[in-house]
Structure 1
Amino acid sequence: MPLSHHDYTVACICPMGVELAPVKAMLDKLHPSLATQRDQNIYTLGEIEGHNIVIAVLPAIGTNSAATVATQLLNDFPSIRFGLLVGIGGGIPDEEEDGNDIRLGDVVVSKPTATFGGVVQYDMGKYSTNGSFERTGQLAKPPRILQASVETLAADHRIKGSRVPQYLSKMLSDYPVMKEEYSYLGVQQDWLFQSDYPHSIGRNCQRCDKQRTVERDERRSSNPKIHYGTIGSANTVVKDAALREELRALNIMCVEMEAAGLMDSFPCLVIRGICDYADSHKNKKWQPYAAATAAAYMKELLSIIPPKDVAKVPAATDVVEIPSE
């Protein structure tokens, strides 16, 4: 019997096509498309680890586009329990010895802290009388089932490691054409330049002075690491090391442009693969691999969430107020 709109309980939103491709490649089954009353969104339907999932891609990047697509998705698929925002982001590494050792291809997962709900809209606030900028408000936390599952998976990783490398390997085996774009580029292509050294010339950093890179300890493995913490979101592309360092002072680990448009109207978790260091050296070289590591983490997370438990979670439309068509 064919599935209906009411049979889908998990949603995934990808900002761009480069992020959509590995998510589609992670599907265990591809389902036939379903007609919707309004053709504003383009959906891919399928199954991942026993979950019926709806995948949507944004027509443009930014918080406003994300909010519009999410609202329409929940109108089209009323049984969605939660969403996963899966894609790429700029990393904010901490150069201190005990800081966050974030590398290109690593994954950052939004996690609530005492200060923020997992995502902070860092350009939302007000100027005080002394001229300083005070951030105001707090975005909603991910649903409890996702918070608990993230903690469970983190514990599993401590015991037996992550299955992200296996998922990536299977993706490239199943879809060989993806090897050219979506393969790991190697540590020799991962350059974190000193924050006071700007990009020189060209679309990549081949001519930048490698003597001005930050010395970092060699990792024992090239497998991506998973980090948990605050993700910063705004309608601005961050390619300024000075701004990056300001955001690091807020304990932000990653920056992106969509999550702030979703968190209060779409119960979701944000998963970002790190494709650059949010400075003037920003380029697109690492985007495909970073998108793939985020997609692989998404699949591993869904693998430990029983579909029957998802069915017990209130529908997203019952938790947040969704404008009607």
Structure 2
Amino acid sequence: MPTIQSNKQPTIAIITAHYSEKLAVDTMIENQETFVRYTTVGESNIYTLGNIGAHRVVCTKLPTVGHDRSASIAAGNTTTRLLGTFQKVEYVFLVGSAGGVPHYTDYHKHVRLGDVVVAAPPEGQRFIYMYCDGAKVLENGAYEFETKSWGPPDLNLQNIALKLKEQGEEKDGPTPWVQYMSVGSAKLAAQEMDFSRPGEDTDKLYMSIGGSDVIEVSHPVAPEGSENVRDPNNPRIHLGAIASGRCVVGNDQTRQDFASQLSVLAYDQEFDAVVESVYGNRKDHYILIRGICDYNDGTRNKEWQPYAALAAASFMKAIICGMDAPTDV
């Protein structure tokens, strides 16, 4: 990689896991430059540098993600190299798709396909991301979970996200991410890539009734007399904890019980090594932004993945544009 001038060093790092997620983020970046950092061992890293609003950013894609040890190590190493290469980075955004946690009866708590979940601490907690190492059934039938959790010491990014969400839910309130999605979708369409929103009839909700048996159920509707806050054409924004772990994601019952106990709104494809690397590199400002593409861990429903990635990238841009402009330029 060439030497980058001090005033062009990025202060924001964006990490994605899938090709569609990287494409979605790249549509939000202006004045793009691409660099390759060749490594003697393992895969080389490709970095896209540019501007979002008043900020310099760098975006990369993890070489692999998954549930095995080698994928976890590769993801952690890529994050460490990124933060070591660009030492002026102060803010880290983990942007992509995930599986939403549906609420079968409460319309206001229900997370649907195409929505965006921003990792923020549940009420009374400090963690934003949790990894479940193990789960065992107690004598009373309840589950006991072994977990690791992370939370940034500074919640500035989460506070900006909350303000954007609240403003967007006001009558005629600003929703800049919707405009960013429209522009991004048009850019991608010009490259013959379809990131449009799938039809509502493809958002099917199923409930486990024991064993491997499931039934299709209806999405909860707004209570009579209350306002319908959901726009069927655009993502709804949620703030809450995000989690991962095969022992909970792989079973419908444990997935729901874990989410209920710990106020989890989404599950992703095991980003604990990435979050641990961010934490280990002493980055005090980090956030996960996930577009919802299925009701598992974000790997099952490929139809919604491009749209979900674009929704997450667009809300990421709204947060970055809501940050104070850097003073060291």
TM-score in same-fold range (> 0.5): yes
One of 160, 165, 175 as aligned partner of 2:188: 175
Root-mean-square deviation (CA, aligned residues, Å) is 3.4
Distance 1:21 1:284, change over 3 A: same
Per mean C-alpha deviation after superposition, the further-off stretch among 215-224 and 10-19 is 215-224
* In 2: Cα distance, 1:257 partner to 1:88 partner: 9
Distance 2:96 2:37 in 1: 26
**Closer, same or farther: CA 70–88 of 1 in aligned 2, 3 Å:** same
Distance 1:111 1:224 in 2: 18
Distance 1:194 1:277 in 2: 10
Q: Structure 2: give runs of 5+ residues left out of the alignment.
A: 67-71, 223-229
Q: Which moved more, 1:8-17 or 1:32-41?
A: 32-41
Q: Name the structure 2 match of 1:271.
A: 289
Identity of aligned residues (%): 29
| Shift, 1:81, TM fit | 0.3
Q: Relative to structure 2, which stretch is displaced further, 129-138 or 215-224? A: 129-138
2:273 counterpart letter in structure 1:
G
Q: 2:164 aligns with which of 153, 158, 177?
A: 153
Greater strand content: 2
Aligned partners of 2:320, 2:298: CA distance in 1, in Å? 35
Cα deviation for residue 47 of structure 1 reads 1.0
Residue in structure 2 matching 1:164, options 177, 185, 192: 177
Q: Say whether the 8 Å CA contact 1:23–1:295 is kept in structure 2.
A: yes
Structure 1, gaps ≥5 residues long = 201-207, 313-325
CA distance in 2 between partners of 1:198 and 1:296 (Å): 39
Tell me which amino acid in the other structure corresponds to 1:196.
I
Runs of 4+ in 1 over 6 A off after TM superposition: 36-39, 125-131, 197-200
- What's the TM-score once normalised by structure 2's chain length? 0.79
Which of 276, 279, 302 is the aligned partner of 1:284? 302
Q: Check whether the contact 1:14–1:56 (CA below 8 A) recurs between aligned residues.
A: yes
CA distance in 2, matches of 1:281, 1:9: 30
The 5 Å alignment of 1:1-325 reads 3-4=4-5, 7-33=9-35, 40-62=44-66, 63-97=72-106, 100-113=109-122, 114-123=124-133, 133-141=144-152, 143-159=154-170, 160-177=173-190, 181-196=194-209, 212-217=216-221, 219-234=230-245, 238=249, 240-250=251-261, 251-266=263-278, 267=283, 268-278=286-296, 282-308=300-326
- The TM-score, its normalising length taken from structure 1, stands at 0.80
Aligned pair count? 301
Q: Secondary structure at the match of 2:94?
A: strand
Separation in structure 1 between the aligned mates of residue 311 and residue 147 of structure 2, nearest angstrom: 32
C-alpha distance in structure 1 between counterparts of 2:38 and 2:106, whole Å: 52
Change (3 A) 1:252 1:179: farther
Tell me, yes or no, if the aligned pair for 1:199 and 1:280 is still in contact at 8 Å.
no
Structure 2 CA distance for partners of 1:292 and 1:83, relative to 1, 3 Å? same
Q: 1:214 and 1:105 mapped to 2: Cα distance?
A: 17
Query: Residue 136 of structure 1: CA displacement?
Result: 4.3
Deviation of 1:139 after TM superposition, in Å, equals: 1.4
Checking the alignment, whether the CA contact within 8 Å between 2:248 and 2:254 is kept in structure 1 is no
Give the whole-Å Cα distance in 2 for the aligned partners of 1:99 and 1:188: 20
CA distance, structure 2, for counterparts of residue 124 and residue 146 of structure 1: 30
